[in-house]
Amino acid sequence: MQAMRLHGARQALQRDTVPLPEPGPGQLLLRVRACGVCRTDLHVVDGELPGAKLPLVPGHEIVAEVSARGRDAARFREGERVGVPWLGMSCGSCEYCRAGRENLCERARFTGFTLDGGYADYVLADERYCLALPGHYGDAEAAPLLCAGLIGFRSYSFVREAKTLGIYGFGAAAHIIAQIANAEGRTVFAFVRPGDEPGKKFAMKCGAHWAGASGQAPPEPLDAAILFAPAGELIPLALKATKKGGSVICGGIHMSDIPSFPYALLWGERVLRSVANLTRADGESFMRLAGSMQLRMQTRIFPLQDANAALAALREGRLEGAAILVP
């Protein structure tokens, strides 16, 4: 099969011909139909997330069809469409797993990071961590649900009662969560890079009630803010814009250093928290929610062999919504 593989940090992916893998016990061999290009992939390729296996097939927003099943794999039928997210395995026995917090498992393995992912014709996955997908989304539409949507949903779940919600960084995750928050009656304020007029228009198209530059004050104080941009300097700005008792949620797996800021910005029982990965329960809850709605995913299709071009477009801020690789 063909696979786009990373052989070293900060290197371009190489198009390699590799053996077709065979599914082991409890595994599925999946034919990839579409794979989203996530900012986490970019962090891995750019060497900002240490610990990736090499060589590595990136990609963890995978929409695929069951091609073959290993021994004892019985959750899905051959030919059935499934989704493969970031969380690829957890130990099931540590204190976090026992408490239903498998996203914090110290022995977890991750698709497209410590397990080969979906920038390929085929991928192996543990069937226990695959997700059933809502049937009314096409393959390219469904791919962003598997990380941008999932991590956005977990971030949003911590502030779901907020009446006014600020979203910093308006990419793939934000354009999904803005639609959900809007549908649930929240007022959404979008913050983009200074001078990014197309970004403002895109945010408004996705349901934001106002869009401005990241340093601007919103029309009214925020009950909560979610940061999808991996820029630590945004945290003091978000805290300043948030009411006492409000929360600022960091939705990314990587962020640049947070600058020092006066305690007065945090005081008043404001909460600053990170979101780490996802649980299978998150995935199932979000897919039910997405299935009950008609979310509009903005996508740009790239052939699999153009994975480097898709990553460059994301790195340079030339995307609205999500890039999708199609073998």
Task: State the CATH number of the domain containing residue 44.
Answer: 3.90.180.10
CA 291 from chain centre, in angstroms, equals 18
Instruction: Give the domain-ending residue among 257, 274, 291.
Output: 274
Do 76 and 194 reside in the same domain of the chain?
no
Residue 30 belongs to domain spanning: 2-144+277-326
d(CA 186, CA 48): 34
Tell me if 116 is assigned to some domain: yes
Residues 8, 137, single domain; the answer is yes
In-domain check, residue 153: no
Q: Give me the pLDDT at residue 142, please.
A: 98
CATH of the domain at 258: 3.40.50.720
- Do residues 108 and 172 share a domain? no
Residues 6+ apart with CB under 8 A from 310: 37, 300, 302, 323, 325
Residue 113 has a pLDDT of: 98
Q: Which residue has the tokens 């601007």?
A: 216
pLDDT of residue 197: 94
Alpha helices for 166-279 (secondary structure H): 172-183, 197-205, 234-241
What pLDDT shows up at residue 141?
97
pLDDT tens-digit profile, the chain (327 residues): 999 999 998 999 999 999 999 999 999 999 999 999 999 999 999 999 999 999 999 999 999 999 999 999 999 999 999 999 999 999 999 999 999 999 999 999 999 999 999 999 999 999 999 999 999 999 999 999 999 999 999 999 999 999 999 999 999 999 999 999 999 999 999 999 999 999 999 999 999 999 999 999 999 999 999 999 999 999 999 999 999 999 999 999 999 999 999 999 999 999 999 999 899 999 999 999 999 999 999 999 999 999 999 999 999 989 989 999 999
The count of domains in the chain is 2
Residue 149 belongs to some domain of the structure: no
pTM: 0.95
Q: Within this chain, do residues 10 and 118 fall inside the same structural domain, yes or no?
A: yes
Q: Tokens 């949903």 label which residue?
A: 153
Instruction: Specify whether 319 is located in the same domain as 222.
Output: no
Domain limit, last residue, from 235, 254, 274: 274
pLDDT at 222: 98
DSSP letter assigned to residue 57: -
Does residue 21 share a domain with residue 138? yes
Q: Which residue has the tokens 């003091």?
A: 236
Supply the DSSP symbol for 158: T
| Structural domain contains residue 288 | yes
Quick one: 186 and 128 in the same domain? no
Shared-domain flag, residues 136 and 198: no
State whether 207 and 285 are in the same domain. no
Q: Which of 48, 85, 40 is nearest to 228 (CA)?
A: 40
Instruction: Give the count of alpha carbons within 13 A of 268, CB side only.
Output: 15
DSSP-assigned beta bridge partners for residue 63: 34, 83
